[in-house]
Amino acid sequence: MTKKKILFVCLGNICRSPAAEGIMYGFIKSEGLENQIEVDSAGTMGYHTGEKADPRMRKHASQRGYDLTSLARRFNPEKDFSNFDYIVTMDNQNYEDVISMDRKYEYSFKVSKMAQFCKTHKVNEVPDPYYSGSEGFENVLDILEDGCKNLLTKIKDEFK
Ligand code: 4NP
């Protein structure tokens, strides 16, 4: 069985997408699927390349048992479009930015929005928490747990 690879994408790759990566990895680990599903994250801008996730996001995530270990990197259209099976963007701007890098419309079928996997949260995007207080980070984690849970169910169904 070939491994499925998920890439989460936000703007800076220090708040939303590393949190999505950590949450999804936590779910994958608790189901023993580490050999079947791989996760990574990236940002559409490179200002924070090499940095750990924002300390506020790491703190809120760790309170829920998620360890965010990834270092920020910029989305690389040359490699990421072909390498990943699911490219899951956080907000509508991230989605448009990623789609616009798929110049020949070869990979757009892989690109989705996290909000479309949410069931308990009626949202159309994962809002940027960077300039918010604690409640913004908690809200992002709530949305991501909802979306990741349903995305994982969908991917597991595709293995069947
Ligand atoms: P993220 O949040 O896209 O969820 O990582 C942001 C991080 C940094 C900035 C904006 C959003 N920034 O402007 O530096």
Q: Which domains does the chain have, with CATH numbers?
A: 4-159 (3.40.50.2300)
pLDDT, one tens digit per residue, over 36-81 is 999 999 999 999 999 999 999 999 999 999 999 999 999 999 999 9
Tens digits of residue pLDDT in 116-148: 999 999 999 999 999 999 999 999 999 999 999
Asked whether 3 and 118 are in contact (CB, 8 A), the reply is no
d(CA 112, CA 89): 6
Closest Cα to atom 7 of ligand 1: 12
What is the per-residue pLDDT for 16? 98
For ligand 1, whether the C-beta of 73 sits within 6 Å is: no
Is pTM, for the whole model, over 0.95? yes
Is the CB–ligand 1 distance for residue 72 below 6 Å?
no
11 lines ligand 1 (CB under 6 A): yes
pLDDT at residue 108 in the model: 97
Q: Would you say 41 and 8 are in contact if contact means Cβ atoms under 8 Å apart? A: yes
Q: Which residues are annotated as catalytic?
A: 10, 16, 128
What's the DSSP call for residue 114?
Answer: G
pLDDT band at 160 (very low <50, low <70, confident <90, very high): confident
